[in-house]
Amino acid sequence: MQLRKTPNNIFVKLLLGFWLCSSLIIALIGLLPLMQQNHDQSAIPEPLERLLAKSAKRISQNPQILDSDKLKHWSRFKEFKGRPARIYLVDEYGKVLNSHKSSRSLRRFMLLADEAGEPIKHQFRDELIFGPYNFTANGKNYSLFGRLPEHHPRPWFFFFIDNKLLTLSIAILLSGLLCGLFAWHLGKPLRSLKRSADALADGDLSSRVDMATVKRNDEIGQLAQAFNGMADSVEDMVKSQQRLISDISHELRTPLTRLKLSLALSRKKGHATPETERIEYEADQLEQMIAELLELSRVKLNANDNKPSLELAETLSQVLDDAEFEAQQQQKQLHIDIDESIILPLYPRPLCRAVENLLRNAIRYAESQVSIQAIKLADSVQIEIIDDGPGIENETDLEAIFKPFYRPQTARERESGGWGLGLAIAKAAIQAHQGKIVANNNLTTGLKITISLPLV
């Protein structure tokens, strides 16, 4: 598969995503002071400049006003469009001459005006301060500043400037939200890929990654395409193997049938001997094993057929009747607890064969009691088969007993242990339902087999 040449890969997405996210947050916070400055501070309007010029002209024409005694009586208040304007006289050292105490706003504005290097106005919360107007009187330099009581509603974003801790908290929260959305965008296809991989590992060979993930133009999309290609190959290989086993089993039946026919003809001619009896017995055993292999292959090959929704109790009725009869013949009791209202999608023949194998195995090893019950949960049906037999001593055998041709050490004898295909067939049938089967030693004695079948 040829890689795309466009720079649409995980590295670029991670770099651009986190870089843009952090840059956006930094830019928004950094622009707040600039936006405040542009809103509050601007060049001094001409009417306000004329007001200061008029006051400066008066002082220049009457320099005696600068006398400390007369300065106290100099009117600092002027009328500007019907509002009182307060005028401040400042010497070249920055000292306010006509006021005993200058306000904090005025001192702050004087610093702003000094930085600006030209006459400006600045809107504070409840007042407008403007200036300076520089002039000379008696050979000394002076400046005039004005103040108007004026309240302007401030834009809503200025709230963040006044509450820096809250602004920092919101910035962290917003950054986390953006990064979380970006991480979710990257993690969603990975979760889809993980679900498909888990389903494939559990035996669902039809599991594939969804097309939305496959069509992505990055490494995740390429990985999804590679995964689906691998899954196709695995499914073809497994099905080919199952078909081969099925074909071989079918082919073995032909010479086996001829062998049994020859033994029957030999017995009919009076040539029966202990050796021919042994040959017939082994031929019967071989036929049963071939039948088990054919059943195992059939279950795995038909695992992708549509499942009809059926009643569990009705589907298992014949199996349960046969198991109850077999238990009675061995002087054992079989307790059945399956609600007739339980309905779920299932394959009737494979499920019946699985439950039949499990029940026969439980009845064989039970001392006197075997029970089967079905419990309907929120999203699955749980079937439990419990016996009061010896159980399995080795814990590692609890998982291995479902492998083909595997028999625990205690079941190595052919008469009791079979060929190790019954539980393998049961597991294959349950996996065909996308279900799970596990074995555990019971709390007191015996073995408990738990089957979980999905409701959808």
Residues ≥6 apart with Cβ < 8 Å to 368: 331, 332, 333, 388
Domain 309-454 falls under CATH 3.30.565.10: yes
pLDDT at 11 over 70: no
Average pLDDT, integer, range 115-124: 84
Q: Residue 348: pLDDT band by 50, 70, 90 thresholds?
A: confident
Q: Residue 7: pLDDT band by 50, 70, 90 thresholds?
A: very low
Q: Residue 156: pLDDT band by 50, 70, 90 thresholds?
A: low
Contact (Cβ atoms closer than 8 angstroms) between residue 146 and residue 127: no
**Stronger pLDDT, 130 or 434, i.e. the higher one:** 130
> Going along 292-435, which residue ranges are E strands?
309-311, 333-337, 343-345, 369-376, 380-387
**Highest mean pLDDT pick, 178-192, 325-339, 390-404, 415-429:** 325-339
What's this model's pTM, rounded to 2 decimal places? 0.49
Q: Residue 334: pLDDT band by 50, 70, 90 thresholds?
A: very high
* CATH 1.10.287.130 in the chain, residue ranges: 220-301
Q: What is the DSSP annotation of 25-78?
A: HHHHHHHHHHHHHHHHEEEPPHHHHHHHHHHHHHHHH-GGGGSHHHHHHS--EE
For 53-86, what is each residue's pLDDT tens digit? 988 888 888 888 787 666 766 666 677 777 788 8
Residues forming the active site: 250
pLDDT at 17 over 60: yes
Average pLDDT, integer, range 200-223: 82
- Could you tell me which CATH class the domain 220-301 is placed in? mainly alpha
Residue at 414: amino acid letter:
R
Q: Residue 148: pLDDT band by 50, 70, 90 thresholds?
A: confident
pLDDT at 202 over 80: no
Q: What local confidence, expressed as pLDDT, does residue 3 receive? A: 43
Q: Residue 296: pLDDT band by 50, 70, 90 thresholds?
A: low
Q: What percent of the chain has pLDDT over 90?
A: 15
Pairing of strands 127-137, 120-123: antiparallel
Q: Is 169 helix (H, G, I), strand (E, B) or coil?
A: helix
405 phi and psi angles, rounded to 5 deg: 65, 15
Name which of 153, 130, 147, 113 is nearest 45 in CA terms: 130
For 433-445, what is each residue's pLDDT tens digit? 888 899 988 777 7
Q: How far apart, in whole angstroms, are the C-alpha atoms of residue 304 and residue 236? A: 13
DSSP H or E run through 91: strand 83-91
Q: For all residues of the chain together, what is the average pLDDT?
A: 79
383 phi and psi angles, rounded to 5 deg: -110, 130
Q: What local confidence, expressed as pLDDT, does residue 397 receive? A: 80
Structure tokens of 33? 């002071």
CA quadruple 31, 35, 36, 37: dihedral positive or negative? Answer: positive
pLDDT at 410 over 60: no
* CATH 3.30.565.10 in the chain, residue ranges: 309-454
Contact (Cβ atoms closer than 8 angstroms) between residue 337 and residue 354: no
Q: How crowded is residue 191: how many other Cβ atoms within 10 Å of its Cβ?
A: 11
Structure tokens of 240? 């080919």
Average pLDDT, integer, range 197-222: 82
Torsion of CA 401, 406, 410, 416, to 10 degrees: 100
Q: What percent of the chain has pLDDT over 70?
A: 78
Scanning the structure block, which residue is given the tokens 């060049």? Answer: 43
Structure tokens of 156? 């809503």
pLDDT at 199 over 90: no
CATH of 45-153, one of 3.40.50.720, 3.40.50.2000, 3.30.450.210, 1.10.260.30: 3.30.450.210
For 219-268, what is each residue's pLDDT tens digit? 788 888 998 999 888 888 877 776 776 667 667 777 777 777 877 877 77
Average pLDDT, integer, range 117-131: 85
Lowest mean pLDDT among 16-20, 120-124, 177-181, 186-190: 16-20
- HEC assignment per residue over 231-281: HHHHHHHHHHHHHHHHHHHHHHHHHHHHHHHHHHHHHHCCCCCHHHHHHHH
* CATH 3.30.450.210 in the chain, residue ranges: 45-153
